[in-house]
Structure 1
Amino acid sequence: MAKPADPAPIAFTHRKPVIYGLASEVNSKLIHLSIVTVCAPFDLAKTRLQIQGEVANKLDYKLVTAPKRGMLKTVWGIASEEGIHKLYQGFSAIICRHSIYTGTRVTLYRTLKEDVLKYSRTEKVPIYVGLGCALVSGAVGQFLATPADMCRVRIQMEGKRKLLGLEPRVTNLRSAFKSAWAQGGISGLYKGATPAIVRGALVTSGDIGAYDFVKKFILNTWDVPDNRSLHVVTSLCSGLFAAVIGAPADVVMTRTFNQRYSETGKSLVYAGAWDTVKKSVKNEGVLSLYKGFVPLYVKCGPWALIFWVAYEQIERWLGGTGW
């Protein structure tokens, strides 16, 4: 008797609730935790470097005049001066932020592309379609995650402020939320949302959009299998694109989140995102918008590698077809 053919793989979309639910659960718990654990120290170093030499922030002049450090000296300085465990400052906020941001943008991207625009999983998608879906999904995901992102930045700066003798602002995720809420309720939680949303949209276009486009381009151009080697190459490309495209908005977002506010919630350093750009460029030059780029890529590279390779494998284990 002839051996029955293997069943065709199930297309992985949100219409497959069991597969999607399992994949989302595994993705959010295992992949995010492993990524954050690996990348958290570099995320912290990135934040510190982006604030370093911030001339416009005259209220915290000690931060501006503190000795400048590169990525490795920053990481070593945090470990030696504040304690090794402080390399994970803001860890809970990072987990909270990534769970909301990544879960939303990945789901929404595929929904827009496959359900709204009717492109199949294997179909080569025009670059403007992929970028459009990525921009929208990244903006929505970042909007939802903005409060957690703001808390992350403020918590990550507390160790440096303490070393320099500046007054403390927050101690943990809960106090960071309470402090932001006290500055205007819901609006206090979304101060600096504009550069954050722009950053989320751009990073997603460089991450998900690039991964989708590069993978389909390779598969449709050369006779190569859709295997782990392809996923590694494509993920490294997406990490690089995400870092290059998103770096300026990331700097603006960090500085806007970290600035001081009055008791009534009025910003005391920057009037808005564009004002942050103007003052940063005027005082520190155009390259100030790429401060912290090395740790940003060191974070984005492993993040993309771990996320995409694991995501593709987990989806196949659960009976899906892959990205």
Structure 2
Amino acid sequence: MSSEAPAAAESRVSATEQVKAFIAGGFGGVCAVLVGHPFDLTKTRLQTAGPGVYKGAVDVVKKTVAKDGITGLYRGMVPPLLGVTPIFAMSFWAYDASKQLIYAVTPNRESQALSVPELAAAGFMSAVPTTLVTAPVERAKVLLQVQGQGGAEAKYKGVADVIKHLYREGGIRSIFRGTGATLARDGPGSAAYFATYEVTKKFLTPAGASPSELNLGAIIMAGGTAGVAMWSLAIPPDVIKSRIQSAPTGTYSGMLDCVRKTIAADGVRALWKGFGPAMARAFPANAATFLGVEASRKVLDGLF
């Protein structure tokens, strides 16, 4: 009985920590969307528009505002805002669970601190379950973001209308189109994201202080740097994901076909479309994400 008690207590602590990670991740995601959505819309429109539609990121913003007003920059925000809580909640929960898994499979480790490769592995693993939520949300978001560009008529009235049309068009498979490209983006991206955050935050923590303490400057800098690291890797697969998810059914037979046709039509540089807006968004949005995560985690630690 006594030998089982510590294990049971440890299990309860682990479960509690994972619940906190889930809630804090969701809160951080809301912060990310509120700060970063206009940048994301600009990126997506640059990635999916035909040649000559826009001269650059500033032109996207100018034309969007001229046509739809400032609120046009927040078109398509409902899908990520509705989906961001489970997406980020699952991402931070899965990252926490992946770290615990690494500890479990390395019982005789010399250091309790995870190495950079181990942090990256935990980050990569966190993307696998998260993709199941991310892919359909991204599919709806992209379709809402690109409609109306180039003078085209708006086809969808909102999120529910997008999902209804997609299901009628091709069932569940249509709703989840682009899942492979989403994982290709988020696997390496999450590996860089979490590892960079942990390493940068530790580096910026003053001597004698703990990285777990709420140091706003370190959190903002580390979170922003993590976002830049992630998007430095993620742009090419993100371009492919956006094109697959926004194209009419049958346009591409898969990721490789999309890569081949994109390069043939627009050159290799097309794989980096949207790099500017993505980089402009990366720092503030992800600084807001980790600030939201860390601040809410601090509150949760005080509650239970």
| TM-score, structure 2 as length reference | 0.84
Which residue number in structure 2 is paired with residue 247 of structure 1? 235
Structure 2 Cα separation of the partners of residues 215 and 14 of structure 1: 24
Structure 1 Cα separation of the partners of residues 30 and 225 of structure 2: 22
Task: From 40, 56, 71, give the equivalent of 1:43.
Answer: 40
Which residue number in structure 1 is paired with residue 14 of structure 2? 15
1:32 and 2:29 matched: yes
What amino acid is the match of 1:138? A
Q: Say which SS state the counterpart of residue 161 (structure 2) adopts.
A: helix
Q: Say which SS state the counterpart of residue 169 (structure 1) adopts.
A: coil
Structure 2 Cα separation of the partners of residues 77 and 172 of structure 1: 21
Which residue number in structure 2 is paired with residue 285 of structure 1? 267
| Equivalent pair of 1:238/1:304 in contact (CA under 8 Å) | yes
Q: Shift of residue 217 of structure 1? A: 5.5
Structure 1 Cα separation of the partners of residues 72 and 192 of structure 2: 30
Q: Shift of residue 302 of structure 1? A: 1.3
Q: Shift of residue 278 of structure 1? A: 1.5
Q: Which has the higher helix share?
A: 2
Structure 2 Cα separation of the partners of residues 247 and 65 of structure 1: 19
Q: How does 1:1-323 map to 2 (within 5 A)?
A: 15=14, 17=16, 21=19, 24-25=22-23, 27-29=25-27, 31-52=28-49, 64-118=50-104, 123-160=112-149, 164=151, 166-216=152-202, 223=207, 225=209, 226=211, 227-261=215-249, 267=250, 269-319=251-301
Q: Shift of residue 81 of structure 1? A: 1.7
Write the deviation string for residues 178-224 of structure 1: whole angstroms up to 9, x where unpaired: 111113222121112110121121221222232123334666xx836
Q: Say which SS state the counterpart of residue 54 (structure 2) adopts.
A: coil
What amino acid is the match of 1:274? L
Which residue number in structure 2 is paired with residue 57 of structure 1? none
User: CA 1:197 to 1:101, structure 2 compared with 1: closer, same or farther past 3 Å?
Assistant: same
Which residue number in structure 1 is paired with residue 5 of structure 2? none
| Equivalent pair of 1:36/1:94 in contact (CA under 8 Å) | yes
| Equivalent pair of 2:24/2:292 in contact (CA under 8 Å) | no
Q: Shift of residue 124 of structure 1? A: 3.1
User: CA 1:21 to 1:111, structure 2 compared with 1: closer, same or farther past 3 Å?
Assistant: closer
| TM-score, structure 1 as length reference | 0.79
User: CA 1:16 to 1:86, structure 2 compared with 1: closer, same or farther past 3 Å?
Assistant: same
Structure 1 Cα separation of the partners of residues 125 and 13 of structure 2: 18
Unmatched tracts of structure 1, length 5 or more: 1-10, 53-63, 262-266
- The count of aligned residue pairs is 284
User: CA 1:316 to 1:15, structure 2 compared with 1: closer, same or farther past 3 Å?
Assistant: same
User: CA 1:133 to 1:149, structure 2 compared with 1: closer, same or farther past 3 Å?
Assistant: same
User: CA 1:215 to 1:84, structure 2 compared with 1: closer, same or farther past 3 Å?
Assistant: closer
| Equivalent pair of 1:158/1:171 in contact (CA under 8 Å) | no
Q: Say which SS state the counterpart of residue 147 (structure 2) adopts.
A: helix
What amino acid is the match of 1:281? I
| Equivalent pair of 2:239/2:271 in contact (CA under 8 Å) | yes
Structure 1 Cα separation of the partners of residues 273 and 51 of structure 2: 16
User: CA 1:47 to 1:65, structure 2 compared with 1: closer, same or farther past 3 Å?
Assistant: same
| 4+ runs deviating over 6 angstroms | none
Write the deviation string for residues 140-159 of structure 1: whole angstroms up to 9, x where unpaired: 20222211110000011112
Q: Shift of residue 241 of structure 1? A: 0.5
Structure 2 Cα separation of the partners of residues 277 and 97 of structure 1: 27
Structure 1 Cα separation of the partners of residues 62 and 197 of structure 2: 33
Q: Shift of residue 271 of structure 1? A: 1.3
| Equivalent pair of 1:39/1:303 in contact (CA under 8 Å) | yes
Moved more, 151-160 or 277-286: 277-286
Unmatched tracts of structure 2, length 5 or more: 1-9
